[in-house]
Amino acid sequence: MSTLPRGSTVRRDAGLYGYERALRRHGIEPIAGVDEAGRGACAGPLVAGAAILPAGKAGIVPGLADSKLLTAKARERCYDQVVRRALAWSVVVISHEECDRLGMHVANVEALRRAVAKLDLAPSYVLTDGFPVDGLGAPGLAVWKGDRVAACVAAASVIAKVTRDRLMDDLDEEWPAYDFRTHKGYITPTHTAALDEHGPSPIHRMRFVNVRRAAGLEDPAVGSAS
């Protein structure tokens, strides 16, 4: 991964669109953001989104923020705005089986790569959330809390989160005993109680210790981290 072009800086108070403005001042565009949803969940798919927002007023998404900081209704409104305004956007779903086969970190990196590769418009630069990702086909920068400080990453996070939430709502209808609609596959007391009572469903990720324990494959004394 590269750094910002020499001579460019992003002030702390630059706002959500500061990184894109700094890159465009150096003639760099289009700029893609990429992010995922569901990495920490122990059930359901991993979803990655990517987005390229246009410059100027057309790329200003009302209410845009890190998807985790928005209410479900606000995320849906942002999602509609992002897909309407974006020059290009994409979403990739990695099944729970592939997450188990690859391991969560490898699956996460693969999802981000696929999301960028799926964009109809090839980016000249890619911003990622938190950690560097190679193999994106363009230079880029890992931005700490990128979904809170870079608009294109926030847009990607909204795409990923809304898509995954909709998928988990559908899975809740298929497996109602686990209440996926409420916790979206993350570990909560309600989810843990359902696992203890019913054991894992076919969409649980068996690499997670709490899931293996519910399946009788792990010592009950072992912690619940994946």
Residue list, annotated binding site for a divalent metal cation: 35-36, 129
Q: Cα separation of 83 and 48, whole Å?
A: 15
Q: Cα separation of 153 and 67, whole Å?
A: 10
Q: Cα separation of 150 and 154, whole Å?
A: 6
Greatest pairwise CA separation for the chain in angstroms: 59
Tell me which residue of 98, 65, 93 sits closest to 206, measured CA to CA: 98
Q: Cα separation of 36 and 75, whole Å?
A: 15
Tell me which residue of 177, 166, 140, 211 sits closest to 75, measured CA to CA: 166
Question: Binding site: residue ranges?
Answer: 35-36, 129
